[in-house]
Amino acid sequence: MNKKKIINDPVYGFITVPFEIVHDIIGHPWFQRLTRIRQLGLTYLVYPGAIHTRFHHAIGAMHLMTGAIETLRSKGHEISHQEAESACLAILMHDIGHGPFSHALEKLLAKDISHEYLSSLFMNRLNVEFSGRLTEAISIFTDTHPKKFLHQLVSSQLDVDRLDYLNRDSFFTGVSEGVISSDRIIKMLDIADGNLVIEEKGIYSVEKFITARRLMYWQVYLHKTVLAAEHMLINIIERARELAAEGVPLFGTESFLEFLVNEYSTSDFSENDRLLEKFASLDDFDVFTSIKVWCNHPDKVLSTLCKGLTNRKLYKIEISRDPFTVDVLQKRQIESCLIAGVPLEQSRYLAFEGSIENNAYDADDNKINILFKNGVYQDIAKASDNFNIDALTKPVKKYFLCSLKSNG
Confidence band for 1, pLDDT divided at 50, 70 and 90: low
CA distance 372 to 294: 59
**pLDDT tens digits, residue range 293-305?**
999 999 999 999 9
- Cβ within 8 Å of residue 186, ≥6 positions away: 64, 67, 68, 71, 160, 163
Residue 150 one-letter amino acid: L
pTM above 0.85, yes or no: yes
Binning pLDDT at 50, 70 and 90, where does residue 408 land?
A: low
CA atoms within 13 A on the CB side of 278: 18
Give the model's pLDDT for residue 171: 98
pLDDT at 122: 97
CA dihedral of residues 239, 240, 241, 246 (deg, nearest 10): 90
Q: What is the pLDDT of residue 382?
A: 86
211 close to 392: Cβ distance less than 8 angstroms: yes
Inter-CA distances, 397 with 121, 291, 360, Å: 34, 32, 12
pLDDT value at 254 more than 80 = yes
Q: How far is CA 197 from the centre of its chain?
A: 24
Quote the pLDDT of residue 271. 87
What's the whole-number average pLDDT of the chain?
94
Triad 271, 89, 135: Cα angle to 5°: 50
Q: Answer yes or no: are the C-beta atoms of 313 and 389 closer than 8 Å.
A: no
pLDDT of res. 381: 84
CB-based contact 157:361 (threshold 8 Å): yes
The stretch 333-340 carries a mean pLDDT of 96
CA 377 to CA 373: how far, in whole Å? Answer: 9
**In the beta sheet, which residues pair with residue 370?**
198, 378
Split at pLDDT 50, 70, 90, the class of 394 is confident
Question: Quick one: angle between helices 224-245 and 254-261, nearest 10?
Answer: 80
Q: What is the pLDDT of residues 150-189, one digit of tens each?
A: 999 999 999 999 999 999 999 999 999 999 999 999 999 9
Task: Check whether 393 has a pLDDT greater than 80.
Answer: no
C-alpha 236/C-alpha 228 separation (Å) is: 12
pLDDT of residue 387: 66
Mean pLDDT, residues 377-403 taken together: 86
pLDDT band with cut points at 50, 70 and 90 for residue 48: very high
User: How many other C-beta atoms are found inside a 10 Å radius of the C-beta of residue 344?
Assistant: 13
Q: What's the pLDDT score for residue 30?
A: 98
Beta bridge partners of 358: 396
Which range among 5-9, 22-26, 104-108 shows the weakest confidence by mean pLDDT? 104-108
The reported pLDDT for the residue numbered 18 is 93
The pLDDT of residue 40 is 97
The answer to whether residue 51 scores a pLDDT higher than 90 is: yes
DSSP state of 145: S
**Longest CA pairwise span in the chain (Å):** 71
Q: Is the pLDDT higher at 185 or at 107? A: 185
DSSP-assigned letter for residue 53: B
Q: What tens digit of pLDDT does each residue of 116-157 get?
A: 999 999 999 999 999 999 999 999 999 999 999 999 999 999
Residue 364 pLDDT exceeds 90: no
